């Protein structure tokens, strides 16, 4: 294995240290409208303000390493192998510029905050801020008051009437949020709110529109697992590159707990409309094997890909010991040598 210059670790450390002196992530309450007093209505009491602040700071640090990763491409073998693997066949100069810009845009939000329609975005720690309504329930207006079909206000308008009028079907579900006094419409007859619908659901970002005036990030309880795993805390067990097998440690097994929040921050800042969605699955790509198969154009629109390579390079730099092979993840697994 040939390395161009192992001073890359020192350079990356110094670059990050210099940035850290000048700036850091702002507190959760500076960046978001978030309720730490309760677990109801999407509240974050069960996580606590200090934990969310810590995750935001770790997100800032990991994304800053992402910027270093892009800058190291072409000069550091580890950076080149990693980005060629996840941004196939290899990232162009325009791709690298886009990737660096994506990291910088999220970092800027963490440093300075941003408002949409004159208000900070919302942060929820569960999707129980949404309450499912039945088709036979009364429909509400934007002030949370019952709507009526007659001037005498004796015949309440029903959810089914709104569904037929506005969507032409009742094979959908309406979810009321008292946070915004608005409905979120799901194009299926889902019975449970997002976090309870599927154990694999970790987080979701909603944009302003369709009756919701402000964007929000929802991180599910499952998205805060493994609970408390700090950046660099996971035990990494690399194997020789030619010994990768079924029991080899995958990169997603050593993610820090802030990974879900990093992913959703890309959605918030870059916009859901810019996200890659596989036509076959109607989903983003979350699996490491799938991300290794994405071309650069898709990977640059896949938040998990951008988060993964930043986390991987961060671990590589943290574990490097002078004179030894570095731990890498360009195969999707922890390897060495």
pLDDT tens profile 27-38: 999 999 999 999
pLDDT tens profile 95-135: 999 999 999 999 999 999 999 999 999 999 999 999 999 99
Residue with tokens 């010991």: 321
Neighbours of 290 (CB within 10 A): 16
Cα(312)–Cα(334) distance, integer angstroms: 9
Q: How far is CA 115 from CA 118, 254, 316, in A?
A: 6, 33, 35
pLDDT tens profile 147-195: 999 999 999 999 999 999 999 999 999 999 999 999 988 877 778 888 9
How many Cα atoms within 13 Å fall on the side-chain side of residue 272?
Answer: 11
Residue 5 · residue 79 · CB < 8 Å: no
pLDDT tens profile 214-230: 999 999 999 999 898 99
pLDDT tens profile 282-319: 899 999 999 999 999 999 999 999 999 999 999 999 99
pLDDT at 14 over 60: no
User: What's the N-to-C CA distance of the chain in angstroms?
Assistant: 7
pLDDT tens profile 15-29: 554 455 457 999 999
**Taking Cα atoms as reference points, which of 244, 245, 238 lies closest to residue 335?**
238
pLDDT at 333 over 50: yes
pLDDT tens profile 239-281: 999 888 878 999 999 999 999 999 999 999 999 988 999 888 8
Q: What pLDDT, on the 0 to 100 scale, is given for residue 23?
A: 73
**Taking Cα atoms as reference points, which of 207, 66, 221 lies closest to residue 128?**
221
Q: Which residues are bridge partners to 158 per DSSP? A: 138
């Amino acid at each position: 294995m040939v390395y161009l210059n192992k001073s890359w670790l020192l350079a990356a450390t110094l670059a990050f240290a210099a940035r850290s002196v000048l700036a850091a992530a702002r507190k959760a309450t500076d960046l978001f409208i978030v309720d730490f007093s309760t677990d109801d209505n999407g509240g974050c009491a069960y996580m606590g303000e200090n934990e969310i602040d810590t995750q935001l700071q770790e997100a800032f640090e990991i994304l800053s390493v992402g910027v270093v990763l892009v800058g190291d491409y072409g000069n550091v073998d580890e950076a080149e192998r990693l980005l060629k693997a996840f941004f196939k066949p290899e990232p162009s100069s325009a791709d690298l510029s886009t990737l660096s810009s994506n990291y910088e845009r999220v970092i800027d939000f963490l440093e300075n905050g941003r408002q949409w329609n004159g208000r900070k975005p919302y942060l929820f720690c569960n999707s129980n801020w949404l309450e499912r309504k039945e088709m036979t329930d009364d429909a509400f207006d934007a002030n949370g008051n019952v709507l009526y079909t007659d001037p005498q206000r004796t015949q309440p308008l029903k959810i089914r009437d709104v569904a037929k009028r506005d969507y032409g079907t009742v094979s959908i579900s309406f979810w009321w949020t008292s946070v915004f006094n608005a409905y979120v419409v799901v194009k299926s007859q889902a019975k449970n709110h997002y976090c309870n619908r599927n154990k694999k659901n970790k987080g979701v970002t909603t944009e302003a529109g369709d009756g919701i005036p402000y964007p929000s990030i929802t991180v599910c309880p499952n998205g805060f697992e493994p609970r408390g795993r700090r950046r660099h805390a996971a035990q990494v067990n690399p194997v020789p590159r030619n010994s990768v097998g079924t029991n080899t440690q995958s990169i997603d097994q050593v993610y820090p707990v802030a990974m879900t929040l990093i992913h959703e921050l890309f959605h918030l800042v870059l916009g859901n409309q810019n996200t890659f969605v596989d036509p076959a699955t109607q989903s983003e790509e979350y699996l490491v094997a799938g991300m290794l198969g994405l071309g650069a154009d898709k990977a640059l629109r896949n938040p998990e890909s951008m988060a993964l390579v930043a986390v991987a390079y961060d671990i590589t730099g943290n574990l490097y010991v002078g004179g030894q092979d570095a731990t890498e993840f360009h195969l999707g697994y922890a390897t060495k040598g």
